[in-house]
Structure 1
Amino acid sequence: MTPRPPSRRPSENRGQSAPSRPRRPAGDIPEDDLIYGRHTVLAALENRRSLNRIWAISQLRSDTRFQPLLQEAKARGAIIDGASHQRLDQITRGANHQGIAAQVTPYRYWDLETLIARAQSATSQPVLVAVDGVTDPHNLGAIVRTAEAMGTQGLILPQRRAVGVNATVMKVAAGALETFPVARVVNLNRALTELKSAGFWVYGTAAGEYPPLHTVNLTGAAVLVAGSEGEGLSRGIAQNCDLLVSIPLRGATPSLNVSVATGMALYELFRQRGAD
């Protein structure tokens, strides 16, 4: 138990007002705690995302789309602050905030077993994405946005040597994370083994002399594994995949950005599924 501080004697600070708590500078909020932009914050509000504080210009606080949602967020404990464009520029460090920003609470990850069960109940041919060592939040956000848009049932992240879901990821995902489940696992190799046991076929994307993506039958329950920005798939993860596939490149560019490659691979998976 924290000891109670000693009582102040009546003679101390007599006639003086209590010192006020210093105000935190407007731009002193960690960047990973912030989301901003009308679409991103609106999606967070509509999906009852847990927010600590929201800053908005007066026009948005009275906007018919935002006003009831801001009141609901306030009722759940969020602090709603009026702010000018200049203050929002400070808070977001000059980003394109569109008149609104919010400080988020940490993302709540799904457990793997629940994610698998949810995916299998959604469709007869579920697709999950796993990422191996992606460290750039912009890449992860782009992967999430594409995966959700294509109809993927969820994403799996390792806890170590990889970026987690932070405000930058949320911003790049443009609201997709409000409805798209993400699981974070201690050991990605063990997670892939568990997915195989649940009936998923695991495909790893890799550069080199591997079967071209479009020549492989990708139907059925599938996990698409994407490697890190610099090294690609780690050796252990590559060995644990059922099959490594490649994306044929015809130009002089030797490789693709991981989020672009993942998007192309996901398109092929869902193209083969047709209307399912």
Structure 2
Amino acid sequence: MKSKTFSKPFNKKENNPHRHISPKKEFIASENEIENDSPDLIYGCYPVLAALENNHQLNRLYIISKLLYDPRFETFLPQVKANGTVIDVVDNNRLNQITNSANHQGVAATVAPYEYLELPALITQAKADSDNPVIIIADGINDPHNLGAIIRTAEALGMQGLIIPQRRAVGITSTVKKVAAGALEYFSVARVVNLQNAIAELKEAGFWIYGTIADSGNVLHKTKLEGAIGLVIGSEEKGISQSTAKSCDFLMSIPMKGKTPSLNASVATAICLYEVSRQQLLNNSK
């Protein structure tokens, strides 16, 4: 792959080049919290409705009586029952038990575990979907709220997919699904054993890898974001790892003017993805 002309290339001698935009004091889910967040449970109106609208097979639907006559759900219930789903009419106390007192909005369902896409399939799908596909690479995101928000923003802005590592990172759990608000019905996620190998595979497929760091990188809005893009977002506590930073073609930073030193991972991702979208729109209009 030929190198691009760039205003400020990654300098490996910079201090803490892999420090992420996110603050170190941000909430980080413990291993137990991640394990107890069931991947086969969805709850909340948007995630359940998205599953129903996309004919996702539900094993069991828990719903309060008031929602049985809600037009949003009423039309789906006969077909859901015909498909073999067990419908349990329950009260809020029972839903609180099922969802561990989460914001369930009166409905929850158990589904088959989330099916991750294999990385080669994700790359093929992304390139078929767009001439300039964007795949987010989450380097060790532990907070399911952050991961869900990243997925929701990425799908809303028309990005093509997400890569997450198998170890030391949250997977697609019920909290991620709830925060994503149904976006996972339309957005693909690959889970890989080795993130550096995945980045190498993206490069072989023609992607340029842009990493986000707190400072000392190229200024975001002065960075040329073009072609197929792999956008690396680091973990809440440590940011992108040193090995991942070395795998990036370019590192960039969001300029900060206030006294707050950093942004959390999902907010930083949203800002970066908007800049990608802005530049793509400008390039398409030329």
TM range (shorter): 0.7 to 0.9
- State the 1:269 CA deviation: 0.5
Q: Is 2:188 aligned against 1:181?
A: yes
Q: Is 2:144 aligned against 1:114?
A: no
Cα separation, 2, equivalents of 1:234 and 1:78: 44
- Greater Cα radius of gyration, structure 1 or 2: 1
Cα separation, 1, equivalents of 2:149 and 2:122: 20
- State the 1:94 CA deviation: 3.0
Cα separation, 2, equivalents of 1:175 and 1:121: 23
- State the 1:41 CA deviation: 0.8
SS in 1 for 2:210: strand
Whether contact under 8 Å (1:205, 1:227) holds in the other structure is yes
Write the letter of the residue equivalent to 1:54. L
SS in 2 for 1:180: coil
SS in 2 for 1:230: coil
Identity %: 57
Size of the aligned set, in residue pairs, is: 247
Write the letter of the residue equivalent to 1:177. L
Q: Is 2:157 aligned against 1:133?
A: no
TM-score, structure 1 normalization: 0.85
The 5 A counterparts of 1:1-276 are 31-32=37-38, 33-274=40-281, 276=284
Whether contact under 8 Å (1:104, 1:167) holds in the other structure is no
Cα separation, 1, equivalents of 2:89 and 2:78: 13
- State the 1:227 CA deviation: 0.5
Whether contact under 8 Å (2:154, 2:273) holds in the other structure is yes
**Aligned position for 2:27:** none
- State the 1:31 CA deviation: 4.2
Deviation per CA, 1:99-126: give whole Å up to 9, x if none.
2111232100011111111111111111
Deviation per CA, 1:137-171: give whole Å up to 9, x if none.
11100100111111101111111111100111000
Deviation per CA, 1:57-78: give whole Å up to 9, x if none.
2232243432342333333332
- State the 1:85 CA deviation: 2.8
Q: CA RMSD in A?
A: 1.6
Cα separation, 2, equivalents of 1:258 and 1:188: 18
Write the letter of the residue equivalent to 2:131. S
Whether contact under 8 Å (2:37, 2:173) holds in the other structure is no
- State the 1:186 CA deviation: 1.1
Cα separation, 1, equivalents of 2:37 and 2:203: 38
Write the letter of the residue equivalent to 1:53. R
TM-score, structure 2 normalization: 0.82
Whether contact under 8 Å (1:106, 1:166) holds in the other structure is no
Write the letter of the residue equivalent to 1:150. L
Cα separation, 1, equivalents of 2:260 and 2:70: 47
SS in 1 for 2:225: coil
Cα separation, 2, equivalents of 1:226 and 1:138: 15
Unaligned runs of at least 5 residues, structure 2: 1-35
Q: Which moved more, 1:38-47 or 1:129-138?
A: 38-47
Cα separation, 1, equivalents of 2:131 and 2:91: 50
Unaligned runs of at least 5 residues, structure 1: 1-29
**Aligned position for 1:25:** none
Cα separation, 1, equivalents of 2:191 and 2:82: 30
SS in 2 for 1:271: helix
Cα separation, 2, equivalents of 1:67 and 1:215: 50
- Choose between structure 1 and 2 for higher RCO, CA contacts under 8 A separated by at least 6 residues: 2
Write the letter of the residue equivalent to 1:253. T
